Structure 1
Amino acid sequence: MTTPDFNLLITLDVLLTEGSVARAGRRLGLSASAMSRALARLRSTTGDPLLVRAGRGLVPTPRAIELRDRVRQLVHDAESVLRPAEAYDLQKVSRTFTLRTSDGFVENYGPALLLLVGSQAPGVMLRFVQKLNKDSTPLRDGAVDLETGVIGYETGPEVRVRALFRDRFVGAVRAGHPLTRAPVTPDRYAGGAHVLVSRRAGVTGLMDQQLRQLGLERNVATTVDGFASALALARGTDLIATVPDRHTRNLRAGMASFALPFDAPEITVHMLWHPRMDADPIHRWLRNCVHEVCSA
């Protein structure tokens, strides 16, 4: 099947609006002969004369009258699709965004983000889901609109990223923990019982690499898959939890926190999204909201 020339729709719209080959030609910047050839093509394509002579002018056929409003709407819709996106009135936007967030994000940044989004776009709802891995498939297939966390080897190469903040690890123990009764040294830190945060098999983490350089090894009593779980265990026992400072600040309320007694690696927390959402103005606004809250 031959693909129709959709440019003919624009020509037909102007012809039916003007009712004159000469006036339609002037609007389209075409000569009278070119416009006549275009009308001939339209007649051949539609199987109808469309405009017929009546005295010194042209009048539309019943078929042309039937098509006039449909053609005008089609041309209008095509122009809307091809023009740049217009600015949205945030007060009138009604959308739901799914955010897959790393452990502690909702507790630490969720309230401020909801207040900011609600004040500017009351019709926008945020849906938070837990981030269980760094696989980019949910971003790719549209199940997730925006994600926060540390970039890993599982992160898809096409994913767009923007840094939110840098974070450092701190130790956290229950109030009154024996470790708080004297300065925390590498030996005292390593000598306690620890809860390790890890989603992979094994009982070593970033801190263990640093301790080995000092000739020390810590006692990992248990492992969990998230910082919230680690802090919950440390709050009710003598376990030591090692967690990101900014990301878990609210989760550590009422606990004792201390700087690690050795050089610990910093991490950069990013937000991530799929390229198809890059130019979406409402998604761009949401990204700016997240950045504003996290960098405050």
Structure 2
Amino acid sequence: MAVDRVLANLDLNLLVTLDALLRERNVTRTSEHLGVSQPAVSGALARLRRHFGDPLLTRVGNRYELTPLAARVAVLTGPALAGVRRVFDATAEFDPSRLDREFTLVISDYAATVLGPLVAREIARLAPGVRLRLEQTSPYAVDHAEATLRAADGLIVPHGFVTDLPYLDLFEDRWVCIVSADHPEVGDALTLEHLSALPWVMYVDRPTAFAPAARQLRMLGIEARVDAAVDGFVQMPFLVAGTRRIALIQERLARLLGPVAGVRIFDCPFDVVPVAEAFWWNPMYRTDPAHTWFRELIVTAAATLRHQPR
């Protein structure tokens, strides 16, 4: 009964504000994200501080940090909001055209570029009340996939990095090499000697990095000289263009950005394991009709991508 009295005295809007505040760690950004005034967010923060008996956000230099209690609460707000949404989204017959919900995808800049527009168009066509939020993935998000998926609706990342969570296969892509269109040293073919002699633009080399270039080159006895290290793929063609550099990126992205950046595309002169993208999700959504629809929409969009000529 005491728990019921606590819930009866709480405003569900506070949960929405709490979730945004703990993610943004800034009253101004939270008000912009929620579309409400700063005084309203400040008032909600004051109420939350009284409820928890804790400041939740503390100033450190020119930024705010979560208190230890807020850090514990932060991992609970996403699942709590998802549970509330599932309760109020429940209907006798699910109709996506009447759905008012935001879906969050944690996704690489590569997948966001080649798959994201197809997903966005399908959502606009079938469910105009749905909002799509794309968040850039990171090694931390992948290393802690279970925690990531407590606050997000899906994680799109290649096979080989996430285990013990449900997934749906999406599409495959192959790796290609790119050099500047006016490269003075590369003619009609790319050789292993080129890979050894030319400077590289390479994805940041971490254990959960999403490109196999550095490791596979080392297996060939080639120690790449890295001129530029990046944490995304979209920048690569533009960092290669007009230079002696070389990079290894996904073929679909190379075909899309190559003409804009001014780069040439070559088959790799060594065997590279294809990238196989998958959609990973939290099993708490297994019986959620809205999430089931969203998963099916992602797979449908990926099927369209698979049938597009490369």
- Into which bin does the TM-score normalised by the smaller protein fall? 0.5 to 0.7
Normalising by structure 2, we get a TM-score of 0.61
Q: What is the CA RMSD across the aligned residues, in angstroms?
A: 2.6
Structure 1 residues 93, 209: closer, same or farther in 2, change over 3 A?
closer
Secondary structure (helix, strand or coil) at the match of 1:164 reads strand
* Equivalent of 1:285 in 277, 280, 293: 293
Structure 2: tracts of 5 or more residues without a match? 2-86, 305-310
2: CA distance, partners of 1:243 / 1:181: 20
Q: CA deviation at 1:236?
A: 4.6
Q: Retained in 1: the 8 A contact 2:199–2:226?
A: yes
Number of residue pairs matched?
210
Q: CA deviation at 1:217?
A: 3.4
2: CA distance, partners of 1:184 / 1:156: 36
* Equivalent of 1:184 in 190, 200, 209: 190
Structure 1: tracts of 5 or more residues without a match? 2-80
Equivalent in the alignment of 1:136 = 145
**1:148-193: per-residue Cα shift (whole Å, max 9, x none)?**
012445x352x21111112221111222123542311111232211
Normalising by structure 1, we get a TM-score of 0.63
Equivalent in the alignment of 1:147 = 155
* Equivalent of 1:195 in 183, 201, 205: 201
Equivalent in the alignment of 1:86 = 92
Q: Retained in 2: the 8 A contact 1:187–1:216?
A: no
Equivalent in the alignment of 1:123 = 129
- Map 1:126-275; keep pairs closer than 5 Å: 126-133=132-139, 134=142, 135-141=144-150, 143-153=151-161, 155=162, 157=164, 159-198=165-204, 200=206, 206-247=212-253, 249-254=255-260, 255-275=263-283
**1:199-258: per-residue Cα shift (whole Å, max 9, x none)?**
528x9x733444445444332223211112333311353211111223554233432111
Q: Retained in 2: the 8 A contact 1:108–1:248?
A: no
1: CA distance, partners of 2:299 / 2:184: 39
The one-letter code of the counterpart of 1:288 is E
Structure 1 residues 280, 128: closer, same or farther in 2, change over 3 A?
same
2: CA distance, partners of 1:281 / 1:248: 36
1: CA distance, partners of 2:254 / 2:282: 27
Identify the range of structure 1 (286-295 vs 230-239) with the bigger mean alpha-carbon deviation. 230-239
